[in-house]
């Protein structure tokens, strides 16, 4: 017969040892600002920057394994997909791609992620706020049209 107490002790021991193997949580220097109105910048900072920038605010639970592995991995992937604090370094073709993708995900309410919104309710975008960001994206895309090849 197995003893549940031993299994609980083993799980606690494994979790305790795992605390010594935390992922790196860094915020590389940025120095760039996305060119948007103060209102749109605030919306992007509130709803996007924790994952998609070099200005991540690491919450307390990102110090606890195994949650820290999930959070750090999520931020690393999000930054690789789109990093708003590296935006000005993009060429017009890259910018057009990211803006179009951003617009699609915001329209479909795929961003911010529902799993993120469970804990970060303040990141939720209203319909009006989504519209403001989409309007900004449309203006940016129109401005990029000047870089189209004849």
pLDDT in tens, 1-11: 467 777 776 66
Q: What gap in Å lies between CA 59 and CA 63, rounded to an integer?
A: 8
H-type helices in 19-150, by residue range? 38-47, 67-81, 92-107, 114-117, 127-144
Secondary structure of residue 102 in the 3-state scheme = helix
Q: What gap in Å lies between CA 90 and CA 129, rounded to an integer?
A: 25
Question: Residue 88's pLDDT is what?
Answer: 72
Average pLDDT for 32-54: 90
Average pLDDT for 82-94: 84
Question: Residue 92's pLDDT is what?
Answer: 84
Average pLDDT for 125-139: 96
Question: Residue 18's pLDDT is what?
Answer: 56
Average pLDDT for 43-66: 88
Structural domain boundaries, residue 127:
4-147
17 pLDDT higher than 80? no
14 pLDDT higher than 70? no
Where do we find the tokens 């070099």? 54
Label residue 64 exposed, middle or buried (CB < 10 Å: 0-12, 13-18, 19+). middle
**38-120-43 Cα angle (round to 5):** 15
Q: Which of 99, 110, 101 is nearest to 35 (CA)?
A: 99
Question: Residue 104's pLDDT is what?
Answer: 96
Q: What is the pTM of this model?
A: 0.76
* Average pLDDT in the chain: 84
Q: How many distinct structural domains can be found in the chain?
A: 1
């Amino acid at each position: 017969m197995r003893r549940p107490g031993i299994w609980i002790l083993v799980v606690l021991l494994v979790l305790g040892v795992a605390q010594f193997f935390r992922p790196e949580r860094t915020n590389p220097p940025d120095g760039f600002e996305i060119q948007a109105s103060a209102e749109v910048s605030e919306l992007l900072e509130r709803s996007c920057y924790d994952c998609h920038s070099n200005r991540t605010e690491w919450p307390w639970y990102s110090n606890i394994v195994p949650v820290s592995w999930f959070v750090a991995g999520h931020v690393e992937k999000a930054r690789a997909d789109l990093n708003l604090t590296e935006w000005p370094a993009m060429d017009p073709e890259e910018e057009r791609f990211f803006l179009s993708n951003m617009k699609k995900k915001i329209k479909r309410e795929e961003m911010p992620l529902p799993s993120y919104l469970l804990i970060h309710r303040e990141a939720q975008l209203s319909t009006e706020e989504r519209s403001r960001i989409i309007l900004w994206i449309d203006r940016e895309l129109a401005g990029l049209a000047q870089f189209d090849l004849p």
